[in-house]
Amino acid sequence: IGNRRELRAALGLRRMAELNQVHGDAMIFEPDAVEPDAVPRCDADGMATAQAGLGLVIKTADCQPILLAHKSGRFVAGIHAGWRGNRCDFPGSGVRRFCEHYGVEPRELLAVRGPSLGPARAEFINFESEWSDEFRPWFDAQSRTMDLWGLTRWQLEQAGLLPRNIYGIDLCTASCNRQFFSYRGVKASGRQASIIWRLD
C-alpha cells in the first residue's frame, strides 16, 4: 500500500488502474481506478484508456510488460504477457482489439517491451507439451530455452506494427536480480510496475 501511494505521488498521478493478472488474453477498455489500499477485482491481462491522468499499471517478475501508445498520444494500453500470453498471441490480439476499439491503425502505434526473462534464461524443458511446432523457430533445442523477446517482436509485427516503432529494454530480470524481482530466481518475489498514462 505504501509503495503504491509513494509511486503515485512520485509520478504525479491522480489515479492508477490495476488488474488481477491471470495469464490470459482478456483486454479491458476504460478501466476504473483502483485505490492503493484496494485489491484489483478485474481478471484480465491488458487494459487501455483514452482518459488523461489514469496510469495503467502492469506488474511483472519475469513476464513481459508491453506498453502501447498511439502516435497522437490520445490512446494508451498496457499488456502483461507471460509465456502463456505469447502462446495464445496476446501481444497480437491485444493490438488488434486496441486498434478496433479506438479506430486506429497498427502502423500508428509505438510499443515498448520492458525488462523480463531473457533468451538465455527462459528455459522450457517440456517444450513439446507446453508449446507447439509453430513456436519452434524461437526455441533453442540445445539449451532448451525460448527467445520470448524475439517472439513478442514477431507477434507485434504480425499485428501490423512497424519494426522501427517497436522498442525493447533488453534487461533480463533473472540475470539482473539485484535490480529486478524475478519469480524464477525467488518464487516469493515482489513485482516490478510498468506504467503508462496519457498526459492532460
pTM (two decimals) = 0.96
Residue position matching grid coordinates 485505490: 35
SS3 sequence of 15-34:
EEECCECCCCCCEEECCCCC
Q: Look at strands 166-168 and 46-49 and give their pairing.
A: unpaired
Instruction: Calculate ∠ Cα 89-95-101, nearest 5°.
Output: 130
Cβ atoms within 10 Å of 179's Cβ, excluding its own: 12
Q: How confident is the model at residue 189 (pLDDT cuts 50, 70, 90)?
A: confident
Q: Find out whether 90 and 46 touch, Cβ atoms under 8 Å.
A: yes
CA distance 167 to 43: 27
pLDDT tens column, 62-117: 999 999 999 999 999 999 999 999 999 999 999 999 999 999 999 999 999 999 99
Please give the pLDDT value at position 116: 98
C-alpha 91, offset from chain centre = 8
Give one word for 103, left, alpha or beta, with left for phi > 0 and alpha for psi -120 to 50. left
pLDDT tens column, 132-163: 999 999 999 999 999 999 999 999 999 999 99
CA distance 37 to 31: 17
Residue 101 CB partners (closer than 8 Å, separation 6+): 29, 48
Q: Find out whether 149 and 113 touch, Cβ atoms under 8 Å.
A: yes
CA distance 192 to 189: 10
